[in-house]
Structure 1
Amino acid sequence: MTDHSNALFQPFMLGDIPVTNRIAMAPLTRNRAARGTDAPHGLNATYYAQRADAGLLISEATQISRQGQGYIWTPGLYSETQVNGWKQVTDAVHAKGGHIIVQLWHVGRVSHVSLQDDGAAPVAPSAIAAKTKTFIETGFAETSMPQALDQAGIDAIIGDYVQAAQNATRAGFDGIELHAANGYLIDQFLKDGTNTRTDRYGGSVENRARFGLEVVDAMLKVFPAKRFGVRISPVSPANDAVTSDPAEVFGYFVAELSKRGIAFIHVVEGATGGPRDVAPFDYAALRRSFKGAYIANNGYTRAMAIEAVAEGRADLVAFGRPFIANPDLVARLRQDAPLNTVNPATLYGGGAEGYTDYPALAA
């Protein structure tokens, strides 16, 4: 029997990003940006630097504008203070020899009026409320009713994505992951359960994919394709976003992304943070239809990850929760060592506790 145990620890070229192993840290919302500015700061730099042994760090989801924010104390990348805060983070990761990309995010309808400028309604493809909760200053709360975007609103958001891509370069990131998963704005356009528009952005598969592809095309005018990827979640019911035709819409969307020569797709297989078999879907077909790299995500164990990379089903595997409690996850996976468990009470908000104080193996 072939020993594949080294498969996860081989170097790889992810587009133009050289990674030292096939382990990615998935984006993890931790709600620890500076209060008042939503800028990263020294504690965040420590947290990411602790985990810089990962072949690729993908930042926590980072809003492209105040309108794009859906949870309190999540970081942005639209002000000078935020750009400078992220520069502290990227410098700290690079000093440890790591690579970090930023996940850019607009939550669409998964927001609350208290997070929006002047208490405005959140925006969405269609005025359909999300049956889900968000996190505001007082704790978890029902999302607010959204307003449907008009063409001017869509154009403005595309402009915000472009500005965020330019800011990512200034902040020192090695690349960008566009968040098109988990029931946020781009995913809301893709899925017919959240998009009931009758204009050029609704109805057919091509129309529902139009907004996401327009965002990609605009960003690629200012950012290199070989340092750019997109995250999708074809069958995840996260944030009350479902579609009747996942194979058709995501098959089309990924084929179109492939034509644009981007570096990778990052695929949530199954329900985000839940069962992998929530609905049938042929992930291997996506892999075949896409010329770039495939990052697999959701519920992978060490054994599953080794097998997926060894058999060519994935180029990298992204781990989420294990990275929260194990700053040295790469070393633990290499040695097949036991993992620390996550303290759920310190996941969202707070300071160093449950953030930068999880013990490493050596301790």
Structure 2
Amino acid sequence: MSQGSALLRPVTLGDLVLPNRVVMAPTTRCRGCVPSELHALHYARRAAAGLIIAEGTWISPQAIGAYPNVPGLFAEEQVSGWRRVTDLVHALGGRIMVQLWHAGATPLTLPEITATIADYCTAARNARRAGFDGVEIAANGTYLIAQFLNPRLIRRTDAYRAGPRLLLDVLDAVLGTGCRVGVRLSPYWTATDSTPACPDYVPDEETLSRYDDLVRRLDSLAYLHLRGPTRFDLDAFTRYRKLFDGFLIANNGFGRESAEAAVESGLADAVSFARHFIANPDLVTRFALDQELSVADKAFNYTGGPAGYV
């Protein structure tokens, strides 16, 4: 790959200049509920990414799901811990945003939804205090906001009707804090998404139509971070590229050549990587030099030390 390659070309994200289109996707690694020097080292080693989106980060104690050993942005010591991370990344010339996360383990009443939206705002303000360049709202997977979006996940009896209202209200509130805001969506999610042997799957038209309508309403975003199907399909991004003319980050299953093709064709403005960045802190350099990539050892995905992390 030459320096003139699509992946290595700079691009602007609003008023933020990215030196390349290789984005580090958020990865939950369970290394402590307060960011430590270990977190600082982890992100600093990956500062050459065009943009880092730090791991899913709890917006409040009520948001915590099945991963209790994950950082938050609701306590003062967490803000201070993240400040050490962002200062180091910025000192090394990097850019770093953070994903705001709510697991949505139990149904919410209307007063709880109001409180939850306020928690997103508090977390966003804390992200600014911690030195992040912006926030990403996690609306992917099976978590709180996705539970209102995907017909396969809707099992709620709260006062909010199923649909985009919660996400749009969260976005309006968080944008009001002055943060740069992105959203991560997974319209192609399926119940077997996390299993190694995922059968061929095409989501039904009801699901995709819901996301069509939502994506058309996201013109205020800094970017849309779109997770593709588990079985890699470059064409799956075409549907949403036609609906969203803002900054689009494509994710899931990409290698160097397919990422290059996505950016070169205009299907995406950047491509994010999770597993590759876990195993290759120097991923941008390896892409630039066409070097072989290391493979992450899954045994260390959720352990508490530096092995498989830094």
Q: When the two structures are superposed, what TM-score results if normalisation uses the length of structure 1? A: 0.78
Structure 2 CA distance, aligned partners of 1:319 and 1:5? 20
Calculate percent identity across the aligned residue pairs.
46
Q: 1:253 to 1:161 in 2, by over 3 A?
A: same
Structure 2: which amino acid aligns with 1:245? Answer: E
In the alignment, structure 1 residue 221 sits paired with structure 2 residue 217: no
| TM alignment of 1:242-253, pairs within 5 A | 245-253=206-214
Q: Provide Cα deviations, 1:224-248, integer angstroms capped at 9, x if missing partner.
A: 4xx2110000011258898762221
SS at match of 2:303: coil
Q: 1:232 to 1:312 in 2, by over 3 A?
A: same
Q: Provide Cα deviations, 1:80-120, integer angstroms capped at 9, x if missing partner.
A: 000000001000100100000000000112xxxxxxxxxxx
In the alignment, structure 1 residue 164 sits paired with structure 2 residue 160: no
Match of 1:211 in 2: 166
In the alignment, structure 1 residue 231 sits paired with structure 2 residue 184: yes
In the alignment, structure 1 residue 308 sits paired with structure 2 residue 269: no
Unaligned runs of 5+ in 2: 195-202
In the alignment, structure 1 residue 296 sits paired with structure 2 residue 255: no
Greater radius of gyration (CA)? 1
Structure 1 residue 200: Cα displacement: 5.9
Unaligned runs of 5+ in 1: 110-122, 124-147, 357-363
Q: Provide Cα deviations, 1:150-209, integer angstroms capped at 9, x if missing partner.
A: 10011110010010010010000001111000111000111122224467632xxxx511
Match of 1:97 in 2: 93
Q: Provide Cα deviations, 1:293-315, integer angstroms capped at 9, x if missing partner.
A: 00000010100001110110000
Match of 1:88 in 2: 84
Match of 1:62 in 2: 57
Structure 2 CA distance, aligned partners of 1:12 and 1:231? 20
Structure 2 CA distance, aligned partners of 1:311 and 1:343? 33
Match of 1:328 in 2: 282
Match of 2:227 in 1: 268
Structure 2 CA distance, aligned partners of 1:106 and 1:182? 11
Whether the 8 Å contact between 1:4 and 1:306 is mirrored in structure 2 is: no
1:185 to 140, 144, 148: 144
Q: 1:353 to 1:240 in 2, by over 3 A?
A: closer
Q: 1:323 to 1:93 in 2, by over 3 A?
A: same
Structure 2 CA distance, aligned partners of 1:107 and 1:243? 25
Q: Provide Cα deviations, 1:6-31, integer angstroms capped at 9, x if missing partner.
A: 11001111122211100000111110
Moved more, 8-17 or 166-175: 8-17
Whether the 8 Å contact between 1:201 and 1:209 is mirrored in structure 2 is: no
CA RMSD of aligned residues (A): 2.1
Structure 2 CA distance, aligned partners of 1:262 and 1:281? 23
Match of 1:113 in 2: none
Count, aligned residues: 300
Q: 1:75 to 1:181 in 2, by over 3 A?
A: same
Structure 1 CA distance, aligned partners of 2:237 and 2:82? 33
Whether the 8 Å contact between 1:73 and 1:349 is mirrored in structure 2 is: no
Q: 1:82 to 1:270 in 2, by over 3 A?
A: same
Q: When the two structures are superposed, what TM-score results if normalisation uses the length of structure 2? A: 0.91
Runs of 4 or more, structure 1, over 6 Å off, are 239-244
Structure 1: which amino acid aligns with 2:34? Answer: A
Q: 1:248 to 1:102 in 2, by over 3 A?
A: same
Q: 1:217 to 1:197 in 2, by over 3 A?
A: same
